[in-house]
Structure 1
């Protein structure tokens, strides 16, 4: 699977694209056929369907029915385009701070929105965002997430850490789920079918008595999930435990027993 990195293009050009400074608006003549927004929309469609490995300026140009060089008139390169694509996707989750029901409901909403986001756009899991695209959608999302945990007695660093914990957990859980679905598409076997084919051979070589806990618990889990992994169960179980841990932190700051 291809791995890309956000923030690896020209920082100035990326920020101009993200904040609208590079849109071409001729003073006179016909309306331009292309915009950065339209190019990003087509790029996201390609990446959604086929992954980032299928994304290229030439492929985008073919989809738009224009020359490859005309794409470069609007976007300097793939690195900057990926920053635009990410920021556009980050605008999709509904604001977390507007959810009624208290901090736990807000953080649960935050996690579920990210889980859904990565399933809509699996290519986002192919992008390392150690240098995030600092566009308007990302900053709006971050502001909303911080407001979701404001006023709980946490320090600034703890507020940032709580947001990172919840969104990072959702991303990790979604990665497992997405990769399992991709494996099924590429092999033509469901996880249950794969296990049914693997188990008899495994039984031939592995002595269950050597791994009593693994055999017992692994069998129970496999029956529950219908395979070796239950991504939805892992997400729900993990989210509950993450929120429980955050509750302990908040109570320690507010003095509640």
Structure 2
């Protein structure tokens, strides 16, 4: 795909009657399908049915599903609620950005899995990247270091949310609560550690466990990530 053509400020004018649909509206319907049924449910036929158009007519707005995916990723990227300017406390600002990313990915569970296939960066994504680079300006990273730090942060959030969603699905499939599964796992690990074959594990289990709630665990890991991202700066 041609990024310049894809992200042009306005859709190309067409001869004849005014278009019955907009690319933004088509993208919004595709996002709604993915949110409800998963990314595999997003087909050109399904999106066309949602907007009340013929499948072939949809190709005059979006040439293929790969392009539609690019549009979907960037559209949900517009959900970020970020301040106009960084506060000056880059650690706090990075944490806020990560929390925004996590909230968006939880609202759109297909997003973490879609990001690795992204081929280009749309305007919403570029706006978030610009904000992140402004946040990191006081750290003194070079240009490449700033971009890599933003990518690492996004990758961490996507990986955590993927794990979080997978655990929810596993819990539902097992027909047990997350607390029941955690308790069973803890009992098993304690019994294994008691045999003496895993002294480091036994030492770790002897320490009172921290809050296992997803939000609390995310905050702990995020703190380590933020503090480590710029350690070499």
Q: TM-score range by the shorter chain?
A: 0.7 to 0.9
The answer to whether the 8 Å contact 1:58/1:68 transfers is: yes
The answer to whether the 8 Å contact 1:39/1:60 transfers is: yes
Matches for 1:110-121 after TM superposition, within 5 Å:
110-121=97-108
Give unpaired runs (5+ residues) of structure 1.
1-10, 251-257
Deviation at 1:77, TM superposition (A): 1.0
The answer to whether the 8 Å contact 1:87/1:137 transfers is: yes
Q: Does 1:78 align with 2:65?
A: yes
Q: Could you tell me which residue of structure 1 aligns to residue 167 of structure 2? A: 180
RMSD (CA atoms):
3.1
Residue 60 of structure 1: which of 27, 33, 47 is its match?
Answer: 47
Moved more, 89-98 or 43-52: 89-98
The answer to whether the 8 Å contact 1:96/1:148 transfers is: no
Partner of 2:137, secondary structure, is: coil
The answer to whether the 8 Å contact 2:139/2:230 transfers is: no
Deviation at 1:46, TM superposition (A): 0.7
Q: Could you tell me which residue of structure 2 aligns to residue 240 of structure 1? A: 223
Matches for 1:15-30 after TM superposition, within 5 Å:
15-20=4-9, 23=11, 25-26=13-14, 29=17
CA distance in structure 1 between the partners assigned to 2:168 and 2:109 by the alignment? 10
CA distance in structure 2 between the partners assigned to 1:111 and 1:168 by the alignment? 10
Moved more, 241-250 or 75-84: 241-250
The answer to whether the 8 Å contact 1:52/1:123 transfers is: yes
Deviation at 1:194, TM superposition (A): 3.9
CA 1:218/1:151 → structure 2, altered by over 3 Å: closer, same or farther?
Answer: closer
CA distance in structure 1 between the partners assigned to 2:83 and 2:120 by the alignment? 20
For residues 196-228 of structure 1, give each alpha carbon's deviation from its aligned partner in whole angstroms, at most 9, with x where no partner exists: 67788x69x968414455467459777953xxx
Larger RCO (CA within 8 A; separation ≥ 6): 1
CA 1:83/1:222 → structure 2, altered by over 3 Å: closer, same or farther?
Answer: same
Give unpaired runs (5+ residues) of structure 2.
none
Moved more, 173-182 or 108-117: 173-182
Q: Could you tell me which residue of structure 1 aligns to residue 134 of structure 2? A: 147
Q: Could you tell me which residue of structure 2 aligns to residue 4 of structure 1? A: none
Q: Does 1:136 align with 2:123?
A: yes
